[in-house]
Structure 1
Amino acid sequence: MMAATSCKTLLRLALLTGVCLPVSALAQTPTELESIEVQGVFDDGQGPFEGYAAEASVSATKGGRPIIETPQAVSVVGADFISDTAARTVTEATRYSPGIRSETFGNDARNDWFLLRGFTSQVSSYFVDGLALKSSDSFATWKMNPYLLERIDVLRGPSSSLYGSSNPGGLINMVTKRPTGEIGGEITTGINEHGRGNFGIDAQGVAGRSGDWAWRFVASGNAGDTEYDFIDDDGFAIMPSLIWTPSEDTTLELYANVQAFSTNGQNFLPYVGTEVDAPFGRIDPETFTSEPGYDAFKRTQAMAGYEFEHRFNDRVTVRQNLRYAHLDIDFTNVYGVGYATGSPTATNADLARFNFITTPQLGLFSVDNQAEFLAETGPLSHTLLFGVDYARFDLDDEAGFDFAPSLDLLNPVYSGITAPTTRYSDQSTVQRQLGLYVQDQIEYGNWDLVLSGRSDFVDTDIDNNIGADSSQSSEALSGRAGLMYGFDNGISPYVSVSRSFLPVIGTDSVSGAAFDPETGIQYEAGVKYQPAFLGGGYIGLSVFDLTRENVVTSDGINFNRQIGAVNSQGFELEAAGQITPDLKFVGSYTWYDLTIEEGNPVEIGNVPTAAPEQFASLWLDYTVPQGALEGVSVGGGVRYVGRSYADTANTLEVGDTVLVDAALRYEKDAFAAALNVSNLFDETYVAGCSSPTACFYGEGREVGLTLSYRW
C-alpha cells in the first residue's frame, strides 16, 4: 500500500529540475540509461489527470490518497470530461456522477443545485480548493465557472471529521487550475443555437532566472440568450495564479479570481399544467412568468488567497491554506405561487405572483493549518494529520416582499413592476467557527485503517434591524472510522462509520430553546476494484444507511420545531476508465430509499419532494486512431432520472425521464472543433417540483459549436 506523501512538492521538484538543467550538463558525454515507460500524467489528487478515471483524490483525507485505497465513496470529474461534454456549469459537469442529483430546479442559470444522497448540499457543502464557500438560505450563494476548474471531487457521506460543519450527504470540492510548470495554453470560442457566445483562454509558463516561478492565467466569458423568453445568461471569470518554489522542500501558491454573472430568476410553475394536463393543456416551457426589464439576478464574487507547504524532512510537512472571499447579490424577481383562482379552466390560466427583492453581501475568511507526520510503530505505518482551522462568515441581508399582479399564462401581458418597499428581513449575521482535528491513516500489510476526529466551536451573532437580536453558541464532536483490505487482484472491500454536524440558527417555537446542531450518522460498506483491462480505471460499489437528525420542521401545528429526522439508505454503482486505448467511458447507477422518519405526523414514512430515488447514466467517447478519419472523436451519453414527488403527502408524482447527449469532435495538429448536443431529442420534462406550485422544466435541446487552438 502507498503511504501518503508530499506528492505536490515532489511534482514541483520534478518540473523545476527539468527546467533548470544547466547547459554544461547537457553538453556532457551521454550515458546510456535504462529505458522507462511513462504512462500519462502523474495524479497527485489535486492536479490534472488524463481521461475519465482519477487515480487519487485530496478531498477524502486532505492528502493525495489513491481512490482505490480510500474507505469512503468518492468520485472525480476531470477537465477532460468537462471539455468533452461542453459542460457550462458545475451542475452539468456532475450529470454523470453517482449519488449526486444535479439540476433539481431545471435549467437555473443562477446557482448550482445539488442533492447528495438525497440531501440539499449547495449551502453548506460547496468547497473550493479544500475551503468551504459557505452560503446562506437568503440567496447569498456562490457559483464557479467550470472552465476555471481542474477537477471536481464529489465526496459522499458525512465529512465533518475533517471539514467541520457540512451536510451529511457529502461535499463537493472544486479544485481550480494552477501552474504545472509547463509552457503552453489554449484559446477557445463557441456559440450555441440561442446565440449565446463564449470564449476562454488558459495560458501558463515559467519565470525567473532559475525557473523557480511558474504562472497561469485563465479567463472565460459568455453572453447571449437562453431557451426561455427574456432570460439571458451573461458572465465572465478571470483567474491568475503564481507558484514560487524556492527549494525542493517549499512551495508558495498565490491565486485570485473574480467572477460576475448576470441572468434572471427561474420560472415557478404549477404542477397542473406542467407535469399533468390542465384544462387548457400544458404551459409553454419558454414562457417567462416574471417581468421583463425588472427581473434580474446579478452576482459579483471575488476571492484571493495562498497555499503554503514546507517539508522539514521526509517525515514532517506543514501546510497553510488561507483565503478571503466576498460576494454581492442583487436580485429582483416576480415569481408564481399557483393559480389565482385555485384551479385553472380552459380559458383562465392566471398565475398569482409575488414580488421579491434581496441584496445580500457576504464576506468569508478561512484558514486551515495542517501538520503531517509519517511514523512507524512496529509493523504499523502511520500518516498522522493534525489541523486547526478557523472561518468567519459575515452576512448583511436585506429583503423585501409584496404582491404582484397575476399573469395570464395563455396570453402573457406584462404590466410593469416596481421594487417592494416593505422589508421582511434586515439583519447582519456574524458566525465564527474554530475546529481542531486529528487523523491517523494506518497501514499494516494490505490493511488500511483511517481514523478521524474533530471538535468544533461555533458562535453566531445576529443584529436584527427589524426584530430582536440574538446570539447562539454550538459545540460538536464528529468522527470517522474506515477499514479497507486490498487484495492482490485489485479488489478492495471496506466498511466505515462517520458523523456530521451543522449549526442551526433559531429557537423552538414551543419551548423557546435555542436549536441544537443538526447531526448525521452514516454506516457504509463497499468494494472498489481496479482491473487491468480498464487502463487505470476502477469499479466501485457502496451501500449506505444515513440518518439526518435534529431537522427543523413542523409538527402540524407549530412551525420551527426541531423534531425532524430523515433516513437515506441505498447503494451506488460507478465505473470509469478506458475499455481500449481509444474508448473512454464513465457510468453510474444510484438507488436509495429516502424516508421522513420523524416530524409532522402526516409526513412520516413519506419521501421528501424533488428527490428521485434512482438515477443512472452512461457516457462513451471513442477516438478514431488512424486512417481517413484520424482525429475524429464521437461521444454519446444516456441519462435516466427516476420519479419523484411534488408534495410531502406523496400524492403528486413527477414522472421519470430518459435524456440523450451527443458529441462530435475533430482535432488536427493544434486546432480542434467540437459539436455538442444536450438533450438530443428535445425531451420536454419536469426536472423537479419543490411543492405543487413550484415546478421547473428541464433544459431542452441545446446545440453548441466550439473551436479551439492549443500551443
Structure 2
Amino acid sequence: MPVPMTADRRRLPSRLSLLTCCTALVALAPISTLAQEVTVLAPIIVDGSDDDSSTVVAQGLSFGGKVGTDLLDTAGSISVITQKELRDRGVQSTEQALQYTAGVVTDFYGSDDRWDYFKIRGFNATTYRDGLRVGGSGQSANNLREDVFAYERVEVLKGADTTLFGVSDPGGMVNYVTKTPKTERFGEAYATVGSFSHKEAGVDFGDNLTPDSTLSYRVTARVQDADAEEDYSRDDGKLLMGGLSWRPSDATTVSVVADYLKSDGSTSAGLPFNTDLDRETFLGEPDFNYVGNERTSLSVMVDHDFGGGLTFSGNARYDDTASDFGMIFLSATPEEGTVIGRSFFSGDTRGHTFNADARLTYQTDLGSAHSTTTLGAQYVDTGYTAQGYYIATDAIDWTNPNYTGGLNESTLPFYNDARRSEETRAIYIQQQFDIADRFIISLGLRHDWTDIRQRVKTPTYLDDPEDPTDPNDVYARGPDGDFLINTARSEGDFSETTARVGLTYKITPELSAYATYAESAVPASTLTLDPETGKQYEIGVKYQPEAMRALFSAALFDLTKENITRTDASTGLQYLTGEIRSRGLELEARAEVMDGLELIAAYTYIDTEVQDELSGLQGNELEKVPNHLASLWSNYTLAGDGTRGDMTFGLGARYTGTYFNTAANTGGKSEAAVIYDAAVSYEVTPDTALSLNVKNLFDEQHDTGGSAVYYNPGREISATIRRTW
C-alpha cells in the first residue's frame, strides 16, 4: 500500500532461477581462459553516441563529460543501456530500461506507479541527466517519471561516489544522456498500438542548417494515448524537445536543448489481502484517481579545446516542475466480511532547479606516465513546495464495488505543507595517471557547501474523546473555519568533504582488475542532524575480448551507510542511529557472441543488514531488497536472403528473489518470480521495420508486497512500425 510522501517508502527483500543464473555465470567464463598475446582495442569515447544505435555493448562512458573513458579502464562497476537495447526490448519507462541490469531492483511497488522506483545495491538511486542531478538532494522516489525516448542511453554507476557528482546515496546513480544534434541528416518516425487501448507515435530527426555542419538541429517528439491495466485508469503522455548545436570551429561545440514533458496517468488503490481478484479490479474512486507530471527544461552544453592538452567542458540546466496525484488507499483487510475501509490521499508539488557544472582538464605526459587533471566547480539552486492531504472516506465492498464519487480537494485536511530551498556550491579535483599502459591510478577529492532552509506547516490535531485510538480524529478549526496551523522553521548548513581512490591494473590489453574506495554524503531530512554518509570498498575484473565485441565484468562490494535518520514513533522526533551494511556480488555480460546473436546476462547477490544498536531493527535486512536477482536477454537476427528482409527474435527472463516488505521484517515476504519477455521484428524494407513486443509473456502474477496487494504488471503486447532515414 502506498504511504504518504513524507514517510519512509522503503519496503523489503529469495530463490534463484537456476537457468538464468547459470547462463550469466557461463557468459563470464572467458575471464579465466586468457593466455595469448592480443592487440589493444582503441577506446571508444561516446557523447551520446551514434554507435549506440547498432550495438548493445557500449565501450565508453559519458556522464556529462565528467568521466569520458573506456569502460575497461574505469575502476568501478558500470552498466550502459544503449539505444539499440532500448529499442529491441520495446522499453517505455526507466524501470523497464533497468530490468536487465546487474545490481538494480525495480518494480517493488507493483501497480503503484506514481514515480520511477528503483534501488541500486539496496539503496534508492540518485538520478542525473547529462551529469547534473535531477531534482534536489532526494533520490529516485518522488522524482518525475522520465520519458526514455528523450535519451540516447541510460548509464548506471554502482556504488558510493559523491566526489564528481555531488550529494548522493551510496548505492549508485543513474544518468540519462540527452539526444543532441548530429553532423548529418538522420531521422526516424514510428507508430505503436497495443494492449489497454495503447496508441503512440513519435519522431526524432535532424540535419545540418549550414553546408559546413557549423549549425545543426534536432527535433524529438512523442505523444501517447492509453489506458493502464486497472479499470478507470489512463496512461497519457507528451514530449517535445528541440536542440541546436553550433560548431564555430573544430575546437568548439555549443549545444542548447529545450524540452517539455507532460504525463497524465493514474495509480492503484491496491487489493485486499487473502482475495483472488482480477488485476483489473479497481477499489478507488474513478473521479479521484490521477497522477500528473509536467516539466519544462532548458539545457546548455559547451566544449572547447584550447590546445596544448587543455580543454574546457561545462553544462547547465534550468527546469520548472509540477506534479500531483489523488488516490484512494485501503485499510487493513478485515478478518470477516467483504467490506474494507478506505482513505483519500493526495499530494501536490511544485519545484525549480538551476544546476551548472564547469570543468578544466589538462593532459600531459610525465615520462612513462600520462597525467590527466580535472578541476571543476558546481552550483545548484533548487527549491520546492509540497502539500499532502489525507482523510478517511466511505468503505467499499470488494465483491460489489459501489463508487461514491470524488472529493473536492479544497475540503481535504492537509497533513503536511512543506517549503524547502537548497543552495549548493562545490569544488572538486580528479587526478589520473596512466602508467606504462598497465596501471591507472585515479584520485578524487570534493567539498560541498549546502545551505538549506525549510518550513513545515501541520494542522493542530484533536483526539476523539470517545475513542482516543481512532485514527480518523479531526483537525482543529478556528472561529473563521480555517484549520489551526503549527509552523516549524529550520535551517542547516551542510559542509562535507568526500574522497575517491581507484586503481586499475591492465593484466593484458583485454583484461583488467581494479580496486576502489569511495565516499558519499547526503543531508539528513532533519536539518539539525549530521549528514548521512556512505563508504564503499569494491574489487572487480573486466574482460573485453578482441575476438568479439563484448564486455564481461564481475565485482565484489562492501558498503555502509552511517548516521541513518529514523523517527521515534512515540515522540515523532528524528534521531541518528548506527549504520546499514550492504555486501554482494555482481556479474554482468553484454556480448555479440557471433554474427546476429547478442546476449545480455546479469546476476546479483545482495546481503543487507541493519547495524542499529539503538533499536529493535538490529540484524534485520533492508526492506524491498531481494538477496538474488538474475536476468538474461538474447537477440538473434536471421539475415535476409534477397526475397525477404532481416528477422530478429528476442527472448528474456527476469528473476527476482523474495524480500521483506517492512523494516521490521514482519508480515511475511514477497513472492519470488520469473518473468519472461519476448520480441520479434521484420525488416519490411531496408528503412522500414515492423516489430512485436510482449512484456510478461506468460502473464505471471504475484504480489510485490505491502499493506495491500499490489500486483506486478501483467502481460502487455505492442506492435510498432518504424521508418528510419
Q: Same fold (TM over 0.5)?
A: yes
Q: Which residue of 2 aligns with 1:606?
A: 620
Match of 1:553 among 561, 566, 580: 566
Q: How does 1:510-659 map to 2 (within 5 A)?
A: 514-533=528-547, 535-554=548-567, 558-559=571-572, 560-598=574-612, 601-627=615-641, 630-651=645-666, 652-659=668-675
* DSSP 3-state at the match of 1:161: coil
CA shift for structure 1 position 396: 1.5
Partner of 1:661: 677
Is the 1:527–1:541 Cα contact (8 Å) retained in structure 2? yes
CA pair 476-127 structure 1, distance change in 2 beyond 3 A: same
Question: Unaligned regions of 5+ residues in structure 2, if any?
Answer: 1-40, 458-485
What residue identity is the alignment partner of 2:657? G
What corresponds to 2:292 in structure 1?
298
SS in 2 for 1:81: helix
Cα contact 2:118–2:140 (8 A) shared by 1: no
The reply to whether residue 119 of structure 1 matches residue 120 of structure 2 is: no
Match of 1:455 in 2: 447
> What is the TM-score normalised by the length of structure 2?
0.86
Aligned residue identity for 1:456 = D
Distance 1:350 1:549, change over 3 A: farther
Q: Which moved more, 1:640-649 or 1:164-173?
A: 640-649
Aligned to 2:190, the other structure's residue is in SS state strand
Asked if residue 354 in structure 1 is aligned to residue 332 in structure 2, the reply is no
Say if 1:565 and 1:599, in contact at 8 Å, map to a contact too: no
Number of the residue aligned with 2:460: none
- Do the aligned partners of residues 443 and 60 (structure 1) sit closer, same or farther apart at CA in structure 2, a change above 3 Å counting? farther
Q: Displacement of 1:357 after TM fit?
A: 2.3
- Whether the 8 Å CA contact 1:216–1:241 is kept in 2: the answer is yes
Distance 1:137 1:361, change over 3 A: farther
Checking the alignment, whether the CA contact within 8 Å between 2:444 and 2:499 is kept in structure 1 is yes
Residue 325 of structure 1 is matched in structure 2 by 319
Shift in CA distance, 61/208, structure 1 to aligned 2, threshold 3 Å? closer
Tell me how far apart the structure 2 counterparts of residues 426 and 541 of structure 1 sit (CA, whole Å): 46
| Partner SS for 1:697 | coil
Shift of 1:230: 1.1
Residue 137 of structure 1 and its aligned partner are, at CA, apart by 8.2
Map of 1:58-457 to 2, 5 A cutoff? 58-59=62-63, 62-121=66-125, 125-135=126-136, 141-269=143-271, 273=273, 278=274, 281-339=275-333, 341=334, 343=335, 345=336, 348-418=337-407, 419=409, 420-445=411-436, 446-457=438-449
Q: Give the C-alpha shift of residue 163 in structure 1.
A: 1.0
One-letter identity of the residue aligned with 2:91: A
Distance 1:139 1:623, change over 3 A: closer
Distance in 1 between residues matched to 2:498 and 2:691, nearest whole Å: 47
Select between 547-556 and 400-409 the one with higher mean Cα deviation.
Answer: 547-556
Q: State whether residues 553 and 564 of structure 1, in contact with CA within 8 Å, keep that contact through their aligned partners in structure 2.
A: no
User: d(CA) in 1 for partners of 2:271 and 2:427?
Assistant: 46
Task: Tell me if structure 1 keeps the 8 A contact 2:104–2:118.
Answer: yes
**Aligned mates of 1:297, 1:173 — CA distance in 2:** 24
Change (3 A) 1:564 1:403: farther
Give, in angstroms, the shift of residue 556 of structure 1. 6.7
Percent of matched pairs sharing the same residue: 28
Q: Which amino acid aligns with 1:96?
A: Y
RMSD: 2.0
Other-structure match for 2:510: 490
User: CA-to-partner distance for each residue in 1:426-466, whole Å, 9 max, x for gaps?
Assistant: 23211111111000111101101111110011111123454
Please give the alpha-carbon distance, in whole angstroms, between the structure 2 residues aligned to 1:40 and 1:406: 65
Aligned mates of 1:170, 1:210 — CA distance in 2: 41
Alpha-carbon offset, residue 360 of structure 1:
1.1
Q: Residue type of the partner of 2:661? A: A
Residues 45 and 63 of structure 1 are in contact (CA less than 8 Å); yes or no, is this contact kept in structure 2?
no
Specify whether residues 498 and 139 from structure 1 end up closer, same or farther in structure 2 by C-alpha distance, changes over 3 A only: closer
Aligned to 1:501: 521
Kindly provide the amino acid, as one letter, of the partner of residue 663 in structure 1. Answer: A
1:590 maps to amino acid: T
CA distance in 2, matches of 1:501, 1:694: 34
Query: C-alpha deviations, 1:199-223, integer Å up to 9, x for none?
Result: 1101110012533011111111111
Alpha-carbon distance, 1:636 to partner: 0.5
User: CA offsets, 1:283-324, max 9 Å, x none?
Assistant: 332222321022111111111020111111041011221110
Q: Distance in 2 between matches of 1:678 and 1:493?
A: 36
More displaced 10-residue stretch of structure 1: 350-359 or 491-500: 350-359
SS in 2 for 1:645: coil
Contact 1:54 1:76 in 2 (8 A): yes
Task: Classify the secondary structure of the residue corresponding to 1:91.
Answer: helix
**Contact kept? 2:111, 2:270, Cα under 8 Å:** no
CA–CA distance in structure 2, aligned partners of residues 640 and 139 of structure 1 = 23
Separation of aligned partners in 1, 2:147 and 2:587:
28
Deviation at 1:379, TM superposition (A): 2.5
Asked if 2 retains the 8 angstrom alpha-carbon contact of 1:472 and 1:505, the reply is no
What CA distance in whole angstroms lies between the structure 2 residues aligned with 1:159 and 1:137? 14
Q: In structure 2, the residue corresponding to 1:654 is in which secondary structure?
A: coil
- Indicate if the aligned counterparts of 1:212 and 1:246 stay in contact, CA closer than 8 A: yes
CA distance in 2, matches of 1:574, 1:452: 26
Change (3 A) 1:46 1:383: farther
Whole-angstrom CA distance in 1 between matches of 2:660 and 2:416 = 31
What whole-Å deviation, never above 9, does each CA across 1:490-514 have from its counterpart, x for those lacking one?
110111010000011316xxxxxx1
Are the equivalent residues in 2 in contact too, given 1:556–1:600 (CA < 8 A)? Answer: no
Residue 56 of structure 1 aligns to a residue in which SS? coil
Task: Output the amino acid matched with 2:651.
Answer: G
| Aligned equivalent of 1:6 | none
Q: Give the secondary structure class of the aligned counterpart of 1:282.
A: coil
Task: Report the equivalent of 2:697.
Answer: 680
Structure 1 pair 157–139 and aligned structure 2 pair: CA distance change class (3 A)? closer
CA–CA distance in 1 between the matches of 2:69 and 2:347? 43
TM-score w.r.t. length of structure 1: 0.88
- Equivalent residue of 2:110, what SS? coil
Paired with 1:60 and 1:257, the residues of 2 have a C-alpha distance of 18
Q: 1:597 to 1:528 in 2, by over 3 A?
A: same
Report SS of the residue matched to 1:163. coil
Secondary structure of 2:330 counterpart: strand
- Select between 639-648 and 374-383 the one with higher mean Cα deviation: 374-383
Summarize the Cα distance change of 1:60–1:190 in structure 2 as closer, same or farther, 3 Å threshold.
closer
Question: Does structure 2 conserve the Cα–Cα contact (< 8 Å) formed by 1:457 and 1:473?
Answer: yes
Mark the runs of 5 or more structure 1 residues left unpaired by the alignment.
1-38, 508-513
Separation in 2 of the partners of 1:548 and 1:233? Answer: 37
Per mean C-alpha deviation after superposition, the further-off stretch among 78-87 and 463-472 is 463-472
Distance 1:178 1:685 in 2: 40
Instruction: State the SS of the aligned residue for 1:68.
Output: helix
Q: 1:519 to 1:695 in 2, by over 3 A?
A: farther
Alpha-carbon spacing, 1:163–1:149, altered in 2? closer, same or farther (3 Å): same
The aligned counterpart of 2:469 is none
- Whether the aligned pair in 2 keeps the contact of 1:140 and 1:362 (CA below 8 Å) is no
Q: Which amino acid in structure 2 is aligned with residue 436 of structure 1?
A: I
